[in-house]
Amino acid sequence: REVLYPHRRYEDSADSKSALDAHVARSGPPAIVEGIQGCIGNTPLFRIKSLSDETGCEILAKAEFLNGAGQSSKDRVALSMIEIAEEKGLLTPYSGDTIYEGTSGSTGISLASLARAKGFLAHICMPSDQAIEKSNLLLKLGAIVDRVPPAPIVEKDNFVNRARALAHAHTASTTVPFTAEEDGHLETHERKVCGRGFFADQFENEANWRAHYSGTGPELYAQCNGKIDAFVAGAGTGGTISGVARYLKPLLPNITIVLADPQGSGLYNRVRYGVMFDLKEREGTRRRRQVDTIVEGIGINRVTANFEVGKELVDDAVRVTDAQALAMARWLVEKDGIFIGSSSAVNCFAAVKTAQKLGPGHRIVTVLSDSGSRHLSRFWAKAGDVGGAVDTKLEDVLNA
């Protein structure tokens, strides 16, 4: 085995031997797989050279944007939710069954693709203020796109609550309403339905964390020869961090699990202080205010079922501001040619902070959930072009 970092060479533990043997046995030319769903999982793990050189740690990134259906880590979750529903008899292919989900992003795209691959319809409820390219992409994937006026989660008309209600109505009725955008207006229509409705429910459905427990976690363990000092990830539903932590922690009791949390999320305080709020002192006054973020896909203000099952395993949290996420995203293009989305930038920033905390010689693993091309109109519009920049200092990124 080529040793790129001799001073960071680790002995394989006896525990990891069987996982390593299994991994080696599987290697060789990639096999022919069945359908687009066969292109999910077994993503590469690569060393981010600039961040490793700067920190003296090995910073490794799981290229989840290479999952084949929806090009994000959510492919694993969507496939797991569908397969477990099929096993439970809640979904039958080519019988008219519809998968309902409330999502403005990656999960809907993965579900829409896999629904087509496996013989279901996808009905995606999303807030009407979301970027139009997302609903266009869902339409291209053959999903029914239901644009729901924005409403808080506690309200009946919130997009997640609407998806749940429609799934139940589907089974009981012959028509289901949906709202489409036409010439800038929202128009409500009805569609005839048959079969059954299934609410995927990524926040509460345990098929979510189990996909990472049985996929992402074992892959990381095998790819790292059982040598991981820290795992760093954000939480949108909590599925990734909980599933990976639950797999790795029993095998590697000394591993540090770190939550990467964008500004405005309540989880940082939940992990660090055991309280669930995100209120920031406004300078010069005693008034507190809620902080918003441009980061998409991670950061929440409630403990979901998928975060709940892993929250006791999370050792530390790093808060990342929008400015820091933008600076890190630009850095990774400038130094390494890596073009990622906002949540991945938050993860990489937190990985560097973790490296500094643990000190040189450690191996830190994080996740690149999706590519920058999903974030051109919002996050990358703010990040701007890297141009010919070659001399940014990591200090400037950390202090952004």
Q: What are phi and psi of 183, to 5 degrees?
A: 50, 45
Query: How many residues contact ligand PMP, by CB under 6 A?
Result: 18
Smallest distance, ligand PMP to C-beta of residue 60, A: 17
Smallest distance, ligand PMP to C-beta of residue 342, A: 7
Window 182 to 201, contacts with ligand PMP (CB under 6 A): none
Window 8 to 27, contacts with ligand PMP (CB under 6 A): none
**For residues 235 and 271, which CB has a smaller minimum distance to ligand PMP in the complex?**
235
- Per-residue x/- marks for ligand PMP, 335-374, CB under 6 A? ------x-x-------------------------xx----
Distances (CA, A) of 317 to 161, 181, 230: 30, 40, 12
Q: Which tokens hold the place of 28? A: 């060789």
**For residues 102 and 226, which CB has a smaller minimum distance to ligand PMP in the complex?**
102
Window 89 to 128, contacts with ligand PMP (CB under 6 A): 105-106
Based on the shown chain and the rule CB under 6 A, indicate whether residue 43 belongs to the binding site for ligand PMP: no
Based on the shown chain and the rule CB under 6 A, indicate whether residue 235 belongs to the binding site for ligand PMP: yes
Q: Which stretch binds ligand PMP (CB under 6 A): 1-9, 152-160, 231-239, 253-261?
A: 231-239
**For residues 215 and 236, which CB has a smaller minimum distance to ligand PMP in the complex?**
236
Q: Which stretch binds ligand PMP (CB under 6 A): 135-143, 166-174, 238-246, 263-271?
A: 238-246
Catalytic residue among 62, 74, 134, 249: 74
Distances (CA, A) of 75 to 100, 294, 316: 16, 23, 27
Smallest distance, ligand PMP to C-beta of residue 304, A: 9
Distances (CA, A) of 232 to 91, 256, 327: 34, 8, 18
- Per-residue x/- marks for ligand PMP, 56-85, CB under 6 A? ----------------x-x-----------
Instruction: Say whether 74 is catalytic.
Output: yes
Window 291 to 320, contacts with ligand PMP (CB under 6 A): 296-298
**For residues 227 and 374, which CB has a smaller minimum distance to ligand PMP in the complex?**
374
**For residues 226 and 299, which CB has a smaller minimum distance to ligand PMP in the complex?**
299
- Per-residue x/- marks for ligand PMP, 124-163, CB under 6 A? ----------------------------------------
**For residues 141 and 394, which CB has a smaller minimum distance to ligand PMP in the complex?**
141
Q: How many Å apart are CA 281 and CA 369, to the nearest integer?
A: 31
Based on the shown chain and the rule CB under 6 A, indicate whether residue 234 belongs to the binding site for ligand PMP: yes
Q: Between 106-118 and 74-87, two packed helices, what is the crossing angle to 10 degrees?
A: 50
Smallest distance, ligand PMP to C-beta of residue 143, A: 16
Q: Is the dihedral of CA 13, 19, 25, 27 positive or negative?
A: negative
Smallest distance, ligand PMP to C-beta of residue 359, A: 28
Smallest distance, ligand PMP to C-beta of residue 253, A: 23
**For residues 226 and 238, which CB has a smaller minimum distance to ligand PMP in the complex?**
238
* Binding footprint of ligand PMP on the chain (CB under 6 A): 72, 74, 105-106, 234-240, 296-298, 341, 343, 369-370
Catalytic residues: 74
